[in-house]
Structure 1
Amino acid sequence: MMTDIVGYSRLIGLDDVATLQAIDDLRRSVIDPAVLRHHGRIIKTIGDGLLVEFASVVDTVACAIAIQQGVATRYTERPDQPSLLLRIGINLGDVIVQDGDLFGEGVNVAARLERLSEPGGICLTREVRDQLQDRFNLSWADLGEQNLKNIARPVHVFGISPDVIAGLPKEAAGEIGTVEAQISSNARGFSALSPRLSLVVLPFMSASDAADQSHFAEGMTETLTTDLSRIRRSFVIAPSTARLYQDQQTDLQQVSRDLGVRYVLRGSIQKSGSRLRVNAQLLDSQTGAHIWSERFDGDSTDLFGLQDQITGRIANSLDREITVAALRDAEVRRMAPDAVDFLMRGIAASYGPQSLESVQRQEAFFRQAVTFDPGNSEALARLAWSILLQELPLQHSTSTEISQNRVKEAAEVARAGLMHDPDSARAHLALALVHRLHGDPKGMALESEAAVALDHNLANAHTSLAMALIWLGRPHEGLLAVEQAMRLDPRSPQFGVFLSVLGRAQLLLGNIEVAADCFAKAQLLPSSLPNVHAGTAMAYALLGDLEAARAAARQALDVAPRFRMSHSAYAPLAQSPDLYRKLYREVILPAAEQADLPV
């Protein structure tokens, strides 16, 4: 769908400030909510126009009608603003995806159709009209075959006039109204629901008018919105629109209707001296139920650092909570599973205790998601990750063998994910694991750094980087990286791995008591891996408690009878530098031998 404002240059010449304000108001109040409600994705702004992509012809036309109705209503109610009229063109066709943008004849035809549209009307191709069949009660104007500029073949065009649109039943503000009620029951099954992962971050409230506290609250809202937008499959309302709902007493169901969102995140900030407390709540706007809440305390002397820490933790927690809630919704509705449902089932499985069976179940769900949607970059990235986890020697599997065919398959799947989405942090994270299994810590570090750069809240990426740095003989840098992972996601199901990596870094740095404490805490968590017990054994051996060391070594062998230090996460990788090999010989191996760990 292409939209364009009629007479934009003339309006700018008459009053540029008022025109730009009117356009911004139109986007916030009419266009963006309509696109969101109808499951569209704004690809880019082209001057005064928009390019929008939809997965359904029905959604596209319903959205176009809703926009034109909303524009007409808006300026009946707001005669003080410049009268903006839109032309809209709709085409159904293949496109080329590159760097998140769309190209190709499919886009060009939509742009040419928009110019044929009446002001306030819609133009579409015969293919679009045929797909609609009888789903709308519309009077079409048959405009015949049109020779469009730079389009080789004639295109049969139909128009919907402003008068026809005005005569249709109007959507209630923010609701899926009677226009979509005319869509037949075999159209998309969730059309009458808010997108499953849709969210608005309401402005955080400050208990004080102090400038620094107010700025912190504004920055928290902006940063949270940006971070939550990185959650794949999510719709997050822009901060400029969220500011319209400053009043914390706003009716949540009204917010849901206005913005077409399911969840509302709101919070408050209190300051006492240099101490700062942030409270955050996630609410289901349709039921008013509290889904999640948490309190954060910190020192306001480093506001930006505290803000990053809090937003990272909230983003990780909400990703889990919203996904699990959406999965429960799907199960309650007993809807036919699709790619998103299988994807969420796999993600939900990744949030529980990790075992070989759990990882195999994740792989099965992600394979189903990719079968339904081969271009789903997140499903591809997570599928690659779940395959690779099963190939880590003596981790979820008791085997010391690595299937290079499986590693090759996972690498191809991860690269396919990057082909569909070059900004997929999880695909880079999967490739980091490929490098680990190929014995290349330098490549692992580079891919991990790419994942962190694309999503600084992805805790597993920081942990992957930490492991790579340790294998490169840089345990101090590795310690800093894994500490960041622990700050970002203290409730992660992988927290035992975080503690184990931290213990490994402390062991190599000579902080033996701290290392022993890290391993002991990791042992208490579910799905404790043999590497954790081995780390505990070595730490106790270095502290001189050989009885406790050998007891921990026996636990490692109970979990993995074929455990050997040479196959463990402590052993140098094939391409580890001499610096790490020296640390392994002088610190790790003597401790392992004292603890009676097989080397």
Structure 2
Amino acid sequence: MSGSDSASLVRYSAVTRAHRAIIFMDVVESVRLVEEDEAGFLGRWLALVETIRSDILAPLNGRLIKSLGDGLLLDFSDVRSAVTAAFAIRDVAQRLNEGLPVNARIHLRAGIETSDVVLDQNDIYGRGVNRAARLVTLAGPDQIVISAAVRDGLTADLDADIEDLGDCYLKHLAQPVRAYRIGPPGPNPVSEPAYFFTELLPSLAIVPFITRDSDQNDLLGEVVAEELIRDLSRSTELNLVSRLSTTAFRGRGATLEQIRANLQADYVLSGEYRTSGQSITIDTELADCKTGQIVLTTRQKGKVAGLLGGRREMIDHIAADVNKAVMKRELQRAQSQALPTLTSYTLLIAAIALMHRLSASDFDSAKALLDELVERGRRQAIPQAWLANWHVLRVQQGWSDDPDRDAQMALQCTKQALDSDPTCSLALAVDGFVHTNLLRRLDVARERYDLALRNNPNDPLAWSLKGTLHAFMGEGPQAMTCTRRALRLSPLDPRRWFYDSLAASACISARQYDAAVQLARRSLRANRNHTSTLRVLSVAQWQLGDHDGARATTRELLRLDPQLTVQGWLARAPSSPFWVGQEFAQVLGMTGVPD
């Protein structure tokens, strides 16, 4: 044994072992707070730490182990003292926030664990410390999450109001951990649903377009801006600043910085138009307010009468180009910058885009982005819903080495999403997706889709997935009604190929094979890696008598999913108990899929 090894053993044997309660606490969105006002944040943070040290820890026999740049590690001799301290710290933080702007307030989240640990004079070690740090990721702003061991040391209604979160999967822990969210005892709920302080979607301001024609007023510029706002407000990737707010900047020649400061816009769309007789030419310019860079310029030509009469081809083209440009910009930002520096909406938009490319490397990158977003607020509905969607697509593509675990992970994500926001139509729709495609609980799925649409009748994903459920059950007319409505609601969606694919499945169940081929081919032009679309196309081609085309499509399908077999597909396909699934499997076999 070397001298250094002997010295390490001596030091290790000299430390103290004890059963302790550990609090790990951090600041929500600390990176943003530092970037926006470093001196102000640090001053408030240091004042909070000093108050905790002098007014809270000493009376409760607590110890400050570490004060990090945006977090605390605290040690207590018993569970009740730790919980009391956590409530007191939250109260102090909320008092210090009084009178501050919303975006400058410090919000803490905490995780508490109790276990045997190793103590020395300056630090604390052991599984309890690691688990406390993992539990904190389950907490939203101003929330406290504890383990089952901490829960066992509390008396409900006397020590705390306690809410069971169920078995939760934590990073780097193989088995789920039973977790609970707590609040002060009393009649109030443990916590209100938590939300991000920065939006999950970038904001776009469309200022009225101007004309250089001396004999024209700006009426048409108002019409163009109004129509673009109406179009882009249907996008699921953008928040639109209201027309009444943007009209105030008409003719002012305001700078991007002025618009950003007054409207809190991330992007600004502006432009000019000119008329010649009955023709109109519209030039647009999309600017990134953060950098001042122009990220898109377009020119569209058409008829004035068409613009005023509701024929929207020009507007639709501009809106689609803007939507794609913003997604491309945020994806580039996500791929070129370190994750901690990225805004939440950059993480979300980039993750959605990469997930739906369905290439293995991009798919893995999407998971990393979603994990980072979830780490910032594990109790948020939207990121959890998209993470559940990731697990479903992973199984569908044949990339999962453990479909049952992916199903459980997906369920865990939707459970947490709906726990945070029971009315979130995205979370409800994705939960239906999980129950349809992974668990084959079609009765539960139908309830989820119906509830999603009651909460948001214009959710295209919920309509599309509900249509697919009808398709799996061989209910062709209902399937086509739902998927057609989804297509009408998502004209600008960058994932239009996904809606086209599900609409093609609906056509199969209605025996509309020509329409199925057209929709599947349109979907594949946008994304050739979606194995489900290839299966649909192969079946539709075969039923139309294009047997050579069907076999060629199946060869491409097997290249992407070489493990596919007819029996394997039947074992996991939600449609397998119905005539449409049996017919589908029979045709797949005839096109070349091994039995």
Normalised by the length of structure 2, the TM-score is: 0.54
Separation in structure 1 between the aligned mates of residue 486 and residue 446 of structure 2, nearest angstrom = 15
Separation in structure 2 between the aligned mates of residue 303 and residue 449 of structure 1, nearest angstrom = 37
Separation in structure 1 between the aligned mates of residue 504 and residue 492 of structure 2, nearest angstrom = 18
> Shift of residue 200 of structure 1?
1.7
Separation in structure 2 between the aligned mates of residue 381 and residue 201 of structure 1, nearest angstrom = 30
- For the pair 1:246 / 2:250, whether they are aligned, the reply is yes
> Shift of residue 431 of structure 1?
0.7
Partner SS for 2:358: coil
Contact 1:284 1:291 in 2 (8 A): no
The equivalent residue for 2:351 is: 347
Partner SS for 2:265: coil
Separation in structure 1 between the aligned mates of residue 442 and residue 328 of structure 2, nearest angstrom = 34
Q: Please give the per-residue CA displacement for 1:25-46, whole angstroms capped at 9, x wherever unaligned.
A: xxxxxxxxxxxxxx99xxxxxx
Separation in structure 2 between the aligned mates of residue 271 and residue 480 of structure 1, nearest angstrom = 41
Q: Please give the per-residue CA displacement for 1:395-438, whole angstroms capped at 9, x wherever unaligned.
A: 24277x631x3322222222222333445333223212211121
Separation in structure 1 between the aligned mates of residue 478 and residue 579 of structure 2, nearest angstrom = 18
Separation in structure 1 between the aligned mates of residue 280 and residue 369 of structure 2, nearest angstrom = 42
The equivalent residue for 2:591 is: 595
Separation in structure 1 between the aligned mates of residue 593 and residue 360 of structure 2, nearest angstrom = 23
Q: Please give the per-residue CA displacement for 1:154-202, whole angstroms capped at 9, x wherever unaligned.
A: xxxxxxxxxxxxxxxxxxxxxxxxxxxxxxxxxxxxxxx9999343232
Separation in structure 1 between the aligned mates of residue 309 and residue 93 of structure 2, nearest angstrom = 42
The equivalent residue for 2:579 is: 582
The equivalent residue for 2:179 is: none
- For the pair 1:553 / 2:591, whether they are aligned, the reply is no
Separation in structure 1 between the aligned mates of residue 302 and residue 484 of structure 2, nearest angstrom = 18
The equivalent residue for 1:289 is: 294
- For the pair 1:202 / 2:207, whether they are aligned, the reply is yes
Separation in structure 2 between the aligned mates of residue 525 and residue 231 of structure 1, nearest angstrom = 18
The equivalent residue for 1:407 is: 407
Partner SS for 1:247: coil
Separation in structure 2 between the aligned mates of residue 457 and residue 280 of structure 1, nearest angstrom = 29
Separation in structure 1 between the aligned mates of residue 316 and residue 418 of structure 2, nearest angstrom = 24
> Shift of residue 552 of structure 1?
2.7
Separation in structure 1 between the aligned mates of residue 589 and residue 482 of structure 2, nearest angstrom = 29
> Shift of residue 226 of structure 1?
5.4
Normalised by the length of structure 1, the TM-score is: 0.54
The equivalent residue for 2:227 is: 220
- For the pair 1:518 / 2:501, whether they are aligned, the reply is no
> Shift of residue 487 of structure 1?
5.0
The equivalent residue for 1:325 is: 329
Q: Please give the per-residue CA displacement for 1:103-129, whole angstroms capped at 9, x wherever unaligned.
A: x97999799x77xxxxxxx99xxx99x
Q: Which amino acid aligns with 1:199?
A: L
Q: Please give the per-residue CA displacement for 1:293-350, whole angstroms capped at 9, x wherever unaligned.
A: 586989999999978x999998887565435434645776768446738834852652
Q: Which amino acid aligns with 2:584?
A: I
Q: Which amino acid aligns with 2:265?
A: V
Separation in structure 1 between the aligned mates of residue 329 and residue 440 of structure 2, nearest angstrom = 39
The equivalent residue for 1:370 is: 374
Quick one: structure 1 residues 201 and 572, their matched pair in 2 at CA, closer, same or farther if it must change by over 3 Å?
Answer: same
Separation in structure 2 between the aligned mates of residue 222 and residue 551 of structure 1, nearest angstrom = 44
Quick one: structure 1 residues 376 and 515, their matched pair in 2 at CA, closer, same or farther if it must change by over 3 Å?
Answer: closer
Quick one: structure 1 residues 240 and 554, their matched pair in 2 at CA, closer, same or farther if it must change by over 3 Å?
Answer: closer
The equivalent residue for 1:133 is: none
Contact 2:473 2:575 in 1 (8 A): no
> Shift of residue 455 of structure 1?
6.0
- For the pair 1:397 / 2:399, whether they are aligned, the reply is yes
Quick one: structure 1 residues 520 and 411, their matched pair in 2 at CA, closer, same or farther if it must change by over 3 Å?
Answer: same
Contact 1:478 1:505 in 2 (8 A): yes
Partner SS for 2:564: coil
The equivalent residue for 1:465 is: 466
> Shift of residue 244 of structure 1?
0.4
Partner SS for 1:291: strand
Separation in structure 1 between the aligned mates of residue 316 and residue 457 of structure 2, nearest angstrom = 8
Separation in structure 2 between the aligned mates of residue 482 and residue 248 of structure 1, nearest angstrom = 45
Where does 1:65-84 land on structure 2 (aligned, <5 Å)? Answer: none
Separation in structure 2 between the aligned mates of residue 469 and residue 434 of structure 1, nearest angstrom = 15
Q: Which amino acid aligns with 1:397?
A: W
Quick one: structure 1 residues 505 and 333, their matched pair in 2 at CA, closer, same or farther if it must change by over 3 Å?
Answer: closer
Q: Please give the per-residue CA displacement for 1:138-161, whole angstroms capped at 9, x wherever unaligned.
A: xxxxxxxxxxxxxxxxxxxxxxxx
Separation in structure 1 between the aligned mates of residue 515 and residue 454 of structure 2, nearest angstrom = 30
Q: Which amino acid aligns with 1:282?
A: L
The equivalent residue for 1:498 is: 499
Q: Which amino acid aligns with 1:515?
A: A
- In structure 2, runs of 5+ residues without a counterpart are 1-31, 45-89, 107-197
Partner SS for 2:384: helix
Partner SS for 1:550: helix
- For the pair 1:358 / 2:362, whether they are aligned, the reply is yes
Partner SS for 1:505: helix
> Shift of residue 204 of structure 1?
6.2
Contact 2:395 2:403 in 1 (8 A): yes
Contact 1:360 1:386 in 2 (8 A): no
Q: Please give the per-residue CA displacement for 1:483-526, whole angstroms capped at 9, x wherever unaligned.
A: 44445556766444433333322233233233233334444454
Separation in structure 2 between the aligned mates of residue 108 and residue 515 of structure 1, nearest angstrom = 57
Partner SS for 2:574: coil
Q: Which range moves more in the overlay, 248-257 or 433-442?
A: 248-257
Separation in structure 1 between the aligned mates of residue 335 and residue 450 of structure 2, nearest angstrom = 37
The equivalent residue for 1:420 is: 420
Q: Which amino acid aligns with 1:360?
A: D
Q: Please give the per-residue CA displacement for 1:205-249, whole angstroms capped at 9, x wherever unaligned.
A: 799999x98996676366468556x758x6x54433212023386
Separation in structure 2 between the aligned mates of residue 443 and residue 278 of structure 1, nearest angstrom = 49
Q: Which range moves more in the overlay, 280-289 or 452-461?
A: 452-461
Q: Which amino acid aligns with 2:508?
A: L
> Shift of residue 532 of structure 1?
3.1
Separation in structure 2 between the aligned mates of residue 298 and residue 384 of structure 1, nearest angstrom = 46
> Shift of residue 289 of structure 1?
1.0
> Shift of residue 439 of structure 1?
1.0
Contact 1:202 1:246 in 2 (8 A): yes
Separation in structure 2 between the aligned mates of residue 61 and residue 199 of structure 1, nearest angstrom = 33
Contact 1:463 1:498 in 2 (8 A): yes
Quick one: structure 1 residues 447 and 542, their matched pair in 2 at CA, closer, same or farther if it must change by over 3 Å?
Answer: same
Contact 1:197 1:323 in 2 (8 A): no
Quick one: structure 1 residues 310 and 563, their matched pair in 2 at CA, closer, same or farther if it must change by over 3 Å?
Answer: farther
Partner SS for 2:296: strand
Q: Which amino acid aligns with 1:582?
A: W
Q: Please give the per-residue CA displacement for 1:81-114, whole angstroms capped at 9, x wherever unaligned.
A: xxxxxxxxxxxxxxxxxxxxxxx97999799x77
Separation in structure 1 between the aligned mates of residue 457 and residue 298 of structure 2, nearest angstrom = 22
Aligned length: 420
Separation in structure 2 between the aligned mates of residue 402 and residue 426 of structure 1, nearest angstrom = 22
Partner SS for 1:443: helix
Contact 2:531 2:560 in 1 (8 A): yes
Partner SS for 1:473: coil
Contact 1:194 1:262 in 2 (8 A): no
The equivalent residue for 1:431 is: 431
The equivalent residue for 2:9 is: none
Separation in structure 2 between the aligned mates of residue 60 and residue 240 of structure 1, nearest angstrom = 38
Separation in structure 1 between the aligned mates of residue 449 and residue 315 of structure 2, nearest angstrom = 21
Where does 1:105-124 land on structure 2 (aligned, <5 Å)? Answer: none
Separation in structure 2 between the aligned mates of residue 275 and residue 451 of structure 1, nearest angstrom = 44
